[in-house]
Structure 1
Amino acid sequence: MNRREFILVSSIAALAGVAGCQRKGAGGTDPNVDYYTCTMHPSVRSQDPKGKCPICSMDLVPVWKKGTLAAATPKASSGPVLNEFSVPVERQQQIGVTYATAERKPLHHVIRSVGLVVPDRTRRQEFVARVEGYVQKLYVTSPGEPVEEGQPLLTIYSPELSSAEREFVNLLETRDRISAGEGKAAAERSIEAARRRLEQWNITAKQIAELEKARKPSEFLTLNSPFKGVVEDVPVDQGRRVMSGDHLVNVADLSMVWVWAEFYEDELSMLAKGQKVTVTTKAYPGQKFEGEVGLINPFLAEMKRTIKVRVDIPNPDFKLRPGMYVNIELAMDMGEGLTIPVSAVMPTGSHALVFVDKGEGKLEPRFIQLGRKYGDIYEVLDGVKEGERVVASANFLIDAESKVQGAVKSFEEPAPLEVKP
């Protein structure tokens, strides 16, 4: 073999060796793969497609080179990059991925609180002695006693009252003796003044009318219940002397009660006078009482950041007792809106992220704008269209896959941990 033939044979062998090496590299690795890493430890990097994570011994997964996957959204200078990525269907089944469809639903919001039952102050009568005397007889003796309208509560003996009634009777007789003229008009004015004086001493109009008809003054004043209710307090005893201003007896009409509840500052915009309210209590399991918002206190509690609301509730059977704690629910119809499950949303600080199904194992990370939360669903204001499917479970594992494949890149990437095959 001469020199020229030797050079030609050597060149052919070298070319064949290079081609063989290129074919080996093409068959061993995918040219679109940048490196392989662990889904649980993204800092691990390797060029071995069959390698395992040195930390947890899991199989490594490929990380594709830039440009091989279509970008879902353009890169912004002030936020992370979102790219479409792939998770095989088999892999999704292994990690328990489920999907939910974005759909329009009626929105119902419920505000809950705890309230305290108190008597309706407009249906509560507190009797105070307006004349000096002695408690002659008590017809009610203890709190909780039921009373009917017009039922006697107690009788007070008072000589001062006897003098006032006698004066009233004398004025009536004087007026009757005067036929007409200025004298009769003056007598009428005196009678009216005496009548108002008796009314100020808790003598009812009916009792005054009876006195005017019988013309018999009495030394005893009987106080009657102005409505059907229950005795709230009896601080006096039979035979005790009472002075003007002393507390005698309290009567409350519990056919209508108030419930005072507190709501947080951010719930104020959802409260309105006249709203229907449902009240429940442990004393009557399964039973609901209906009422409505009667008053919203305009003053906010500075420390608790709450506002007091008064709920008016009919109570014909006297089941709701003053001092009882109850649970309050205000249900509101908020219209209709596009919704997704709460479990589908990945909070990322200032953004909310979902993974949208693009079919055949492809997922698209997407930032969305959320509205109010209603139970186990969110209202979506922007970012998802009706009918699109989003990942509803195993979001954190999908998020790990997205970070591994570079679909969601943060500003600071950890230093890679090279693993040699």
Structure 2
Amino acid sequence: MSTQTSSYRRWLGPLLWSVGLVVLGLVFRGPLVDWFTGARVKDAPAKAAPAATAHEAHGHEQAQGPTGPALPSGPLPGVSVEYARAAFEATERMRLLLANDSLEGLDTRAREVVAALRALAGELKGAEGTKGVESGAEAAERLAETKGLDEARARFGEVTRVLVGLAEADSRLREGWHVFQCPMEKGFNKWVQRNQAMENPYMGRRMLACGVESEWKVGSKPKAPAPAPGEIAHYTCPMHPSVKQAGPGQCPSCGMDLTPVTREELESGTVLIDSIRRQRIGVKTAPVKVGPMDLSVTALGRVTYDETALVDVTLKLDGYIHELHVDATGQPVKKGQALFTLYSPELYAAQQEYLLALKSQAAAKDSGAPERMDSLVHASRKRLELWGLTRAQLDAIAKKGAPIENLPFLAPASGYVLEKSVVAGAAVRAGDRLYRIAPLDKVWVEADVYETDLPRVKVGQEVVVTLPYLPGRTFKGRVGYIYPALQASTRTGRIRVELKNPELELKPDMYAEVQLKQEGGARLQVPESAVLYTGPRRLVFVDLGEGRLAPREVKLGVHAGESYEVLEGLKEGEVVVTSGNFLVAAESRIRSAADHWGGGEHESH
């Protein structure tokens, strides 16, 4: 019995294994066949196809135009603008990831955008643009689920389209942001970022600086009509201008479509410079604007004495200085203060004659001819007055009844001693200038104005004077006089400004900055750095778009600050090159066959 049982167990085990293998083969027949026939290799791209297909479909859709549901057309109401700003911040964090070819944490950032846009749509409450905002939230949801960089960048463009549209409608959202455009992206090719240095999220690290500054508009500018075949000189690449060929095609270096260059552009000196080359050579642009032009003139001046108030102390007779009361330059004096005492034989004799005439006048009152004595007194008194004695001094001599040996001479005006040319005991002669006195309660500021600015200066014009020694203090005055001649060495004209100086803060020979105020009204202006001098011509380079820069002759008006008034040649809103234009001009000279650069051998700046 035990032998039969043992035999039964020996053949039952293998039988059960065989049945199990048959059942497994029937159940997994299809996968096993595919495994052994190599079908799994063919299935791999099929599984990746949906992502690629989604990106292709997006690219096809966006290639037809950056369209979508309508967005708000005006400022956002209430707190909805804060939700929009939150969406901008979250999108910026997504952009940084894509610019570094990274997907790590992209889903989290995308969901932040979804939350912000959903909240914004809720605030709009079905008003105009609600569907457009909801489409942005849906695009962000799809972005959160993507696994590949290409599809993520396509979805990123859909989200960015909504943000640019919101900023186009509400200018508050543009504050602190810059918008750029990628010429290589076939879908919606704009992006927004905080930093001014471009970091392209569509190209990533391979072409991080690819792009150009753009406008806050969802739609693109209408393209210029294509030139006729006979007008085209050659085709070139905006990013690789060395690539030239007779017909259209793609750039062998970057794959971009070649753009046509017309014969007219060659003759006019138009050059084609892509955004990357612009960054490398430092090309910057600025729009031509109409705005108030400050025609104020700033000049360097110097504080000096009021020449009309200077007073000299000069003797009219010979004598000797006995005592010197004012004995130092710069010493303040008051009108009527004794400056020195003088002994003079002529003066002493004249006093005696005056006293004798007074005695004779008193004696003649009892006679029959007192008028004769009166005339003698008047003549002797007048002579002393002409020599510099005051009426009070003459009355003192008459009261004393005897001549004064050392008579004091008084200051004719208040001020400060500017010059002193006498010492005690000195012999002086008639005509000698002993002192020069200058009052400082009113001073002049004489400023040198450039010859080109002189036509804008008028007598009576308001002036503001500042001094580096007195920070924060300003002195207001008016132009008192414009000198009729120029300074030959500096080619400047001198003007005079009169200022009151009650606290004596303004001291002669101080340097001052003089600003002559004048408003010029609204005028068409261009930055000074945009203008190139080529002999008798003045040129600027105008940005025509699509990388084209064309030289254009302009007629300039007045120069104020860092701007020129434009009289002819430009319109408001046109964009001109303000930096790097000398390098652009060098390339234009090489390519141009026109006479724009005539007389430019001695080009100045």
Is this a same-fold pair by TM over 0.5? yes
1:186 CA drift (Å) = 4.0
Q: How does 1:294-333 map to 2 (within 5 A)?
A: 294-302=480-488, 304-333=490-519
Partner SS, residue 263 of structure 2:
coil
Q: Find the aligned partners of 2:481 and 2:368 in 1 and give their Cα distance.
A: 53
Residues 237 and 257 in structure 2, CA contact (< 8 A), matched pair in contact too: yes
Q: 1:233 aligns with which of 419, 426, 433?
A: 419
1:353 alignment counterpart:
539
SS of residue matched to 1:317: coil
Residues in 1 aligned to 2:539 and 2:378: alpha-carbon distance in whole angstroms: 80
Question: Is this contact kept in 2: 1:87–1:401, CA < 8 A?
Answer: no
Greater RCO (CA < 8 Å, at least 6 residues apart): 1
Of residues 41, 46, 64, the one that matches 2:261 is: 64
Corresponding position of 1:197: 383
Q: CA deviation at 1:346?
A: 3.5
The range that moved more, 35-44 or 240-249, is: 35-44
Q: Which has the larger radius of gyration?
A: 2
Check 1:193–1:324 CA distance in 2 against 1; reply closer, same or farther (3 A cut).
farther
Say if 1:102 and 1:390, in contact at 8 Å, map to a contact too: no
User: Partner letter of residue 221 of structure 1?
Assistant: L
How far 1:219 sits from its partner (Å)? 2.2
Between the aligned partners of 2:257 and 2:342, the Cα distance in structure 1 is: 97
**Are residues 155 and 114 of structure 1, via their aligned partners in 2, closer, same or farther at CA, if it must alter by over 3 Å?**
same
**Matched letter for residue 64 of structure 1:** V
User: Aligned-pair distance for 1:361?
Assistant: 5.5
Distance 1:45 1:410, change over 3 A: farther
User: Which secondary structure does the structure 2 equivalent of 1:155 belong to?
Assistant: strand
Give the CA deviation at 1:412.
10
Which whole-Å CA distance do the structure 2 matches of 1:292 and 1:309 have between them? 10
Distance 1:368 1:246, change over 3 A: closer
Is 1:245 matched with 2:442?
no
CA offsets 1:90-123 (integer angstroms, 9 cap, x no match): 77677654332421323323141343x4322332
Superposition pairs for residues 71-110 of structure 1, below 5 Å? 82=268, 97-110=284-297
* Gap runs ≥5 in structure 1: 1-29, 53-58, 70-79, 414-421
Correspondences of 1:21-40 after superposition (within 5 Å): 34-35=233-234
Q: How does 1:94-243 map to 2 (within 5 A)?
A: 97-115=284-302, 117-178=303-364, 183-211=369-397, 216-243=402-429
CA distance in 1, matches of 2:553, 2:330: 62
> Residues 156 and 269 from structure 1, CA distance in 2 versus in 1: closer, same or farther, beyond 3 angstroms?
same
Secondary structure in 1 matching 2:295 = strand
* C-alpha displacement of 1:379: 0.7
Map of 1:76 onto structure 2:
none
Q: What's 1:13 paired with?
A: none
Is 82-91 or 187-196 further displaced after alignment? 82-91
| Contact 1:39 1:401 survives alignment (8 Å) | no
Q: Distance in 1 between matches of 2:353 and 2:540?
A: 89
Could you tell me how far apart the structure 1 residues matched to 2:444 and 2:577 are? 47
Compute the displacement of 1:400 (Å).
Answer: 6.3
CA contact (8 A) 1:153 1:225 kept: yes
Distance 2:387 2:363 in 1: 28
Distance 1:383 1:343 in 2: 17
Matched, 1:339 2:535: no
Shift of 1:47: 5.9
Contact persistence 2:301–2:447 (CA under 8 A): yes
Gaps of 5+ in 2: 1-228, 598-605
1:410 and 2:591 matched: no
d(CA) in 1 for partners of 2:251, 2:240: 16
Richer in strand (by share): 1
Match for residue 223 of structure 2?
none
For the structure 1 residues 38 and 388, does the alpha-carbon distance in structure 2 shift closer, same or farther, using more than 3 Å as the test? closer
| Alpha-carbon offset, residue 138 of structure 1 | 1.5
Q: Which residue of 2 aligns with 1:378?
A: 564
Letter in 2 for 1:105: P
**Which stretch shows the higher mean deviation, 88-97 or 264-273?**
88-97
Return 286-295 or 216-225, whichever deviates more.
286-295
Q: TM-score, normalised by structure 1?
A: 0.69
Secondary structure class of the residue paired with 2:517: strand
Larger deviation: 218-227 or 269-278? 269-278
Measure, in 1, the Cα distance between the counterparts of 2:356 and 2:240: 106
1:178 deviates by 4.5
Q: Is the 8 A contact 2:236 2:244 kept in 1?
A: yes
Asked whether the 8 Å contact 1:294–1:312 carries over to 2, the reply is yes
Task: Answer whether contact 1:105 1:339 (CA < 8 A) is retained.
Answer: no
Quote how far apart the aligned CAs of 1:378 are: 1.0
Change beyond 3 A, Cα 1:301–1:398: closer
Paired residues of 1:39 and 1:60 also in contact (CA < 8 A): no
- Looking at structure 2, the residues matched to 209 and 106 of structure 1 have their Cα atoms a distance apart, in angstroms, of 67
Deviation at 1:38, TM superposition (A): 9.5
| Letter matched to residue 270 of structure 1 | R
Q: Given residue 275 of structure 1, which amino acid in structure 2 is its aligned partner? A: Q
Q: Deviations over 1:365-406 (max 9, x none)?
A: 4322111111111111122233444344444465567668x6
Q: Give the percent of matched residue pairs that are identical in Structure 1 and Structure 2.
A: 35
Alpha-carbon distance between aligned partners in 2 of 1:299 and 1:412, rounded to the nearest angstrom: 38
* Whole-Å separation in 2 of the counterparts to 1:186 and 1:220: 31
Q: Report how many aligned residue pairs link the two structures.
A: 364
* Counterparts of 2:316 and 2:557, CA distance in 1: 61
Q: Does the 8 Å contact 1:40/1:400 carry over to 2?
A: no
Structure 2 vs 1, CA of residues 359 and 118 (structure 1 numbering), >3 Å: closer, same or farther? closer
Matched, 1:255 2:452: no
Distance in 1 (alpha carbons) for counterparts of 2:440 and 2:330: 11
- Is residue 2:467 matched to residue 1:287? no
CA contact (8 A) 2:300 2:511 kept: no
For residues 242 and 536 of structure 2, the distance between their equivalents in structure 1, rounded to whole angstroms, comes to: 25
**Would the aligned equivalents of 1:37 and 1:43 in 2 still touch at CA under 8 Å?**
yes
| Paired residues of 1:39 and 1:400 also in contact (CA < 8 A) | no
- SS of the aligned residue for 1:98 comes to strand
282-291 or 358-367: which moved more? Answer: 358-367
Q: What pairs with 1:267-286 in structure 2 (closer than 5 Å)?
A: 267-286=453-472
Residues 334 and 234 (structure 1), Cα distance of their counterparts in 2 relative to 1, 3 Å cut: same
What is the CA-CA distance between 1:237 and the residue it aligns to? Answer: 2.2
